[in-house]
C-alpha cells in the first residue's frame, strides 16, 4: 500500500517546486518592469531621449519604411513597426543616460 502512494508524493512535490519557481520569476519580472517604467518615464532623462528618438528614429524610419510610404504600401502592421522604430532609440538613450 505504501508503494502505490510513492509516485504521487514526488509528483506533488515537483508541481509545488514548479509553482514556486514560476511565482518567484513573476515577482522578479514585475520588479524589473516597474524599474524600467520608472526610468523610461523619468522627466530628467526624457528631453534628451526624445531628441535622440526624433533624429535617429526618423532616419531609421526613412531607411526601413520610406519606400513603402512613397508607394502607398503602408499597412497597419508596418505603421506599428514604424512606431517601434522610434521607441528603440528612445529606450537606448534612456539606458545610456541612466548608466552614466
Q: Which residue has cell 526624433?
A: 54
Q: Count other Cβ atoms within 10 Å, centred on residue 13.
A: 10
Closest Cα to residue 94, out of 55, 36, 54?
36
Residue 63 has pLDDT above 70, yes or no: yes
Structure-model confidence comparison of residues 70 and 8, the more confident one: 70
Average pLDDT of the chain to the nearest whole number: 85
CA angle at 56 for the pair 62 and 89, rounded to the nearest 5°: 120
Please, are residues 1 and 52 in contact by the beta-carbon 8 Å criterion?
Answer: no
Of the pLDDT bands very low, low, confident and very high (cuts 50, 70, 90), residue 81 is very high
Q: Which residue has cell 517601434?
A: 84
DSSP 8-state assignment for residue 1: -
Which three cell numbers, joined as nine digits, stand for 36?
A: 524600467
Amino acid at each position: 500500500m505504501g508503494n502505490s502512494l510513492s509516485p504521487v508524493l514526488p509528483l506533488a512535490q515537483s508541481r509545488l517546486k514548479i509553482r514556486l519557481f514560476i511565482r518567484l520569476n513573476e515577482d522578479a519580472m514585475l520588479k524589473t518592469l516597474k524599474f524600467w517604467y520608472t526610468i523610461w518615464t523619468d522627466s530628467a532623462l526624457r528631453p534628451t531621449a526624445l531628441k535622440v528618438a526624433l533624429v535617429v528614429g526618423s532616419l531609421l524610419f526613412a531607411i526601413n519604411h520610406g519606400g513603402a510610404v512613397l508607394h502607398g504600401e503602408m499597412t497597419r502592421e508596418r505603421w506599428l513597426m514604424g512606431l517601434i522604430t522610434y521607441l528603440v532609440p528612445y529606450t537606448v538613450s534612456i539606458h545610456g543616460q541612466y548608466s552614466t
